[in-house]
Structure formats: structure tokens, C-alpha cells
Chain A
Amino acid sequence: ETGVTQSPTHLIKTRGQQVTLRCSSQSGHNTVSWYQQALGQGPQFIFQYYREEENGRGNFPPRFSGLQFPNYSSELNVNALELDDSALYLCASTQMGGGYTFGSGTRLTVV
């Protein structure tokens, strides 16, 4: 049974650029959630995808968008990067009603 894998592990981008982060969900999990974890804070919910549709969103602007593919893997896209977007981005997969399995995260630095 494979866990949740995220890529890349680290990334440095310039303010105003766009970034795509990737996540492969755990085998058998059909739901993927993305979280942003700023330094010294707990993870904050960005959105969740189920059956390739976004079915819930936290307090993040529309420049944060995502996709889920038929194999349940997912992407997080962030446009017009701002300095405050620097954070650890976590992906978590689950079966509806089940426990969450987290990936190791992507550390994004915006300069």
C-alpha cells in the first residue's frame, strides 16, 4: 500500500509567478484535500476534491485552484504569487468518512 506522495519537495518562485504542486493519493483513497501551513501555525484548509470536483473551500482567494484526475491524483495551482504564500503545502487523502493520510509536503518560498 503506497502512501501520499507530493512533488516537488522544495520550490522557490518569484512574486507574481505561477506554481503547480502535485499530489498522488494513497491507494484506495478517492478524496484529496490541500492545506497551507505557514511557519509556526497549524495547517489551514484550502479545498477538497472528490470525484474530480471541488466540493468544499476554505478562506483562500480564487487564485488558488486545483484539479483532481481520474486516478485521484491532484494538483494545486497558485497564480500571481505573493510573499505571504510562502508556506508548507500539505496534501491529504482519504476515503469519505475515513482517516486522513498526509504527504510530506511541498515547501514553497516566494521571493
Chain B
Amino acid sequence: AQRVTQPEKLLSVFKGAPVELKCNYSYSGSPELFWYVQYSRQRLQLLLRHISRESIKGFTADLNKGETSFHLKKPFAQEEDSAMYYCALTEVIQGAQKLVFGQGTRLTINP
């Protein structure tokens, strides 16, 4: 089964410092990878997907197939970045396309 691992449950950095949230995956084939974010009292929402190669809210993520990683980075953290972050990939099962999520990393930006 495909798997997504986020090794850090909690991550705390100071405002203005660089941020890197780690994500590793196991997948046979070419995965489609995502980062989802959940701000306090809000619903889960898409932050970015690797195929679009967009930078959203200053975040970027590069797919490294050799290391099977899709780490999320931002050069200068802002307080509003405090949230729960989930890395996910899509897997096709029985004709359905499902998301496989990691356990999530709670990011706290200290003032």
C-alpha cells in the first residue's frame, strides 16, 4: 500500500525564519502529490499540488523522486502560517481516486 510519512508531529519556528515541513512517500509509479492546510477552525484546503508547480502564500515544494520526498518550504515564516499541514498523494483503487494522507505536522510560528 502507498504510504505518506510526515516525521514531525510538531514544528515551531520564529517569525521570519525559514520553514521546512518534511514529507516522504512510498509509491510504485509516478505519484501526484499535494500539500493540504487546515487553519484553526477552518476546513481542510489545498495549499499546492506538485504538477502545477505554483507557489502559494510563499510556499513551494519540490518532488524529489530519488529521495521519494516532497518537502514544503517557505523562506520567511509569518504568524498566519500557523496551522496543521498534511502531505498527501493520490492512489487509484478499484476505479476510484483516493487521497492518502500523512499524519500531519502542526506548525507554530512564534512572534
- Residue numbers of A with Cβ under 8 A of B are 4, 33, 35, 40-45, 47-48, 50, 55-58, 90, 92, 96-97, 99-100, 102-105
Whether A105 and B103, one on each chain, are in contact in the complex, defined by CB atoms closer than 8 angstroms, is: no
CA gap between A1 and B43 in the complex, in Å: 17
Query: What is the bound-complex CA distance between A97 and B95, given in angstroms?
Result: 12
A99 touches B49 (CB 8 A): yes
How many B residues have CB within 8 A of the partner chain? Answer: 22
Which residues of the other chain, B, contact A43 by a CB distance below 8 angstroms? Answer: 44, 86, 99, 101
Q: Find the B residue at minimum CB distance from A56.
A: B96
Known: A99-B46, A104-B43. A55 touches B94 (CB 8 A): yes
Contact mask B71-98 → A, CB, 8 Å, 1/0? Answer: 0000000000000001010000111111
State A57–B94 Cα separation when bound (angstroms): 8
| B45:A102 contact, CB within 8 angstroms | yes
Residues of B within 8 A of A (CB): 4, 9, 42-46, 49, 86, 88, 93-104
Other-chain contact of A56, B45, B88, B98 (Cβ < 8 Å) = B98
Question: Which one, A45, A47, A50, A97, contacts B99 given CB within 8 A?
Answer: A45
Asked whether A58 lies within 8 Å of B43 as measured between CB atoms, the reply is: no
User: How far is A104 from B40 in the complex, measured between Cα atoms in Å?
Assistant: 12
Complex contact A105–B43 (CB within 8 A): yes
Cα-based distance from A58 to B1 in the complex (angstroms): 11
Q: Is the CB of B101 within 8 A of A55?
A: no
Given A40-B103, A42-B86, check contact A48 B97 (CB 8 Å): yes
B contact residues around A57 at 8 Å (CB): 93-94, 96
Q: How far is the CA of A67 from the CA of B35 in the complex (A)?
A: 29
Residues of the A chain whose Cβ atoms lie less than 8 Å from the Cβ of B95: 55-56
**Closest 6 pairs (CB-CB, A-B):** A56-B96, A42-B101, A48-B96, A45-B98, A102-B44, A56-B94
